[in-house]
Amino acid sequence: MWELRLILILIGVVFIAAVYLLSRQKKSRSGELRRKAPTLKESNLPDMPSDPAADLPMSPMRRSEVPVTSKVGDTNPGSDTKQLILALHVACREQSGFAGTDVLSALESAGLHYGQYRVFHRLTQNGVQQSVFSVANMVEPGVLDPDALSGMRVPGLTLFLLLPGPQNGVAACADMLATARSLARQLDGEVLDETHSTLTTQIAQGIRERILEFQGGMSGQ
């Protein structure tokens, strides 16, 4: 059940990013011949198991690939446990996108690990490795397969965090924000918030306040 929720969240985040990129492309190419931007079509969605508890398909394991235990919180059917989803984007300043080899190098230098759902994860360092937050391709279908990146151009990256998680929400978000800024510096990109606006100090503070409010509500249940 938890894995189904996570992959649905990933699909939603990637869809929003695709809409943003399409809008950005239209503005920058006004008066020119339009080129169809990637869209998230129903036929491109990952196959969902009829049984929500069934295992989702995973890519073959590689030496650098780390299995991730994603189960956090209450995942029982019918659970009314509240969840908070936070997302940041690292967008390329050019229409050509980031070079895939540069993206892979930046992800690895940031200490991120390739794993479930064919995306990268920040993993906890305790006995059972769990995903603190994840990093996906900004466009459909969201995957960042290391074997394919060398021949790709990547318009941007999406970092997303689901709370409650294996770490304190404020600390996890601070790590995700620091990672986004590090990736942006290495790739010469820009950090955007979930609405694709430039991330300012005020917006970052607002995200922190949302987390504190959310955690306060959770502790009061």
pLDDT the model gives residue 60: 33
Residues 190/120, Cβ–Cβ less than 8 Å? no
pLDDT the model gives residue 5: 56
Assess whether pLDDT exceeds 90 at residue 2.
no
Assess whether pLDDT exceeds 70 at residue 57.
no
pLDDT tens profile 131-148 = 999 999 999 899 999 999
Measure the CA–CA gap between 191 and 27, rounded to whole angstroms: 20
Assess whether pLDDT exceeds 80 at residue 185.
yes
pLDDT tens profile 192-218 = 999 999 999 999 999 999 999 999 987
Assess whether pLDDT exceeds 80 at residue 29.
no
pLDDT the model gives residue 75: 37
Domains of the chain, CATH where assigned: 2-30+37-42+66-71+84-219 (3.30.1400.10)
In this prediction the pTM is 0.70
Measure the CA–CA gap between 154 and 172, rounded to whole angstroms: 25
DSSP class of 99: E
Minimum mean pLDDT range among 50-64, 119-133, 185-199, 203-217 = 50-64
Question: What are the structure tokens assigned to 174, written together?
Answer: 């601070």
Going by C-alpha positions, the residue among 102, 97, 103 that lies closest to residue 119 is 103
Minimum mean pLDDT range among 61-65, 152-156, 161-165 = 61-65
